[in-house]
C-alpha cells in the first residue's frame, strides 16, 4: 500500500542506548520530515529533508541525527537515548514543499518510544 | 507563520454538519490555511487547504472569509469516525519548505 511506513511501532530503550527509527515512503516524495509529539505539546519538527543528500534541522534537533541517501528512506538516529526523548515520533512526506499537493503531508502511524 | 486560535473542544451529533472555526487574524498574503486531523493514537491526516477561495473535497469544505482573517472547516455529515483533534495551520505556500506548526487544535466529539 502506498504511504509512509514507520518501524518499529513500539520501542523501549535504556538511557544511553542508541537506535534508529525507520521511515520509508513509496510515493516518490522529495520532502520528508520527522516530528515528535509529547502530551500537551503538539507536534514539533526535529529534522527535515528536501531531497536525497539534503537535510536540515528543525526546532528540536538536539540528540538526533538524520541522513537521506535515497528518496524513499529517511531514518532518524538517536545517538544516546535520554528519558526526555520519550515521545511519539512521526515521519511525514510530501510531493509539494509546502504540502499543497492533493494529499498534503502524508504521515506515518508513528513510533512510540520509551526511554527508561 | 501566522498564529491560529481554535476552540478547545466542540460537540456534534452524528449525521449533522460539524463547523469548526479558526481565527488567523495575522495571516499574510502568501500564507495558506491548512486543516489536519489526528484520530487517537494515529498520525495526522491531511484534510484540505486553501488560499482565499472556498474549497471542497470528498472529506470537507473550507470557507475562508473575504479578509482571510478567519476560516471554517465544515464536515457536512459527521460520523463517529470523525471524532478527532482538528488542527488549523497557517503556513506559507509556494516553493518554500517549512514546518507545520501544530497548536492545541479542537477536540471534536461526535455523539450518536
Nearest to A100 among B32, B43, B47 (CB): B32
Give the pLDDT score at A106: 92
CB A98 within 8 A of CB B95: yes
| CB proximity A105 to B under 8 Å | yes
Give the pLDDT score at A40: 74
**Chain B interface, best mutation among A35, A56, A99, A112, by max B CB count within 10 A:** A99
Q: What is the pLDDT of residues B48-91, one digit of tens each?
A: 999 998 999 999 999 999 999 999 999 999 999 999 999 999 98
What is the rounded end-to-end Cα distance, in angstroms, of chain A? 34
Residues of chain A with pLDDT under 70: 1, 98-103
Whether residue A107 and residue B100 make contact (CB cut-off 8 A), yes or no, is: no
- Cα dist. A47→A5, B62, B93 in Å? 17, 30, 19
B19: closest CA of chain A, how far (Å): 21
Chain B residues with CB-CB distance to A45 below 8 A: 99-100
Of all residues in chain B, the percent with pLDDT exceeding 90 is: 77
Q: Which of residues 47-66 of A touch B (CB under 8 A)?
A: 48, 50, 58-59
Q: How far apart are CA A77 and CA A79, in angstroms?
A: 6
Give the pLDDT score at B96: 65
**Chain B interface, best mutation among A44, A46, A104, by max B CB count within 10 A:** A104
Chain A residues with CB-CB distance to B95 below 8 A: 97-98
**Chain A interface, best mutation among B32, B42, B43, by max A CB count within 10 A:** B43
Whether residue A42 and residue B103 make contact (CB cut-off 8 A), yes or no, is: yes
Q: How many CB atoms lie within 10 A of CB B66?
A: 6
Q: What is the DSSP string of A72-84?
A: SB--EEESS--GG
A90: closest CA of chain B, how far (Å): 7
- Name the burial class of residue A16, with classes exposed (0-12), middle (13-18) and buried (19+) by CB atoms within 10 angstroms of its CB: exposed
Give the pLDDT score at B26: 92
pLDDT higher than 90, residue B109: yes
Q: What is the pLDDT of residues B27-51, one digit of tens each?
A: 988 888 999 999 988 999 999 999 9
Summary mean pLDDT of chain A: 92
Q: How far apart are CA A58 and CA B89, in angstroms?
A: 17
Give the pLDDT score at B94: 66
Chain A residues with CB-CB distance to B34 below 8 A: 99, 104
Amino acid at each position: 500500500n502506498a504511504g509512509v511506513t514507520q518501524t518499529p511501532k513500539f520501542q523501549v530503550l535504556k538511557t544511553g542506548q542508541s537506535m534508529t527509527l525507520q521511515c520509508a515512503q513509496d510515493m516518490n516524495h522529495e520532502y520528508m520530515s520527522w516530528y515528535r509529539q509529547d502530551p500537551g505539546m503538539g507536534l514539533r519538527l526535529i529534522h527535515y529533508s528536501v531531497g536525497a543528500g539534503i537535510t536540515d534541522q528543525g526546532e528540536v534537533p538536539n540528540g538526533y541525527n538524520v541522513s537521506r541517501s535515497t528518496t524513499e528512506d529517511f531514518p532518524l538516529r538517536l545517538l544516546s537515548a535520554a528519558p526526555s526523548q520519550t515521545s511519539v515520533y512521526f515521519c511525514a512526506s510530501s510531493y509539494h514543499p509546502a504540502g499543497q499537493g492533493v494529499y498534503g503531508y502524508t504521515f506515518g502511524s508513528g513510533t512510540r518510544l520509551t526511554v527508561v | 507563520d501566522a498564529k491560529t486560535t481554535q476552540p478547545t473542544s466542540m460537540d456534534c451529533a452524528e449525521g449533522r454538519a460539524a463547523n469548526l472555526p479558526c481565527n488567523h487574524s495575522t495571516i499574510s498574503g502568501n500564507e495558506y490555511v491548512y486543516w489536519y486531523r489526528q484520530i487517537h493514537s494515529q498520525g495526522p491526516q491531511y484534510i484540505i487547504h486553501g488560499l482565499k477561495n472556498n474549497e471542497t473535497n470528498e472529506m470537507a469544505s473550507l470557507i475562508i472569509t473575504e479578509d482571510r482573517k478567519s476560516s471554517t472547516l465544515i464536515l457536512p455529515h459527521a460520523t463517529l469516525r470523525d471524532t478527532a483533534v482538528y488542527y488549523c495551520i497557517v503556513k506559507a505556500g509556494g516553493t518554500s519548505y517549512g514546518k507545520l506548526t501544530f497548536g492545541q487544535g479542537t477536540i471534536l466529539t461526535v455523539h450518536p
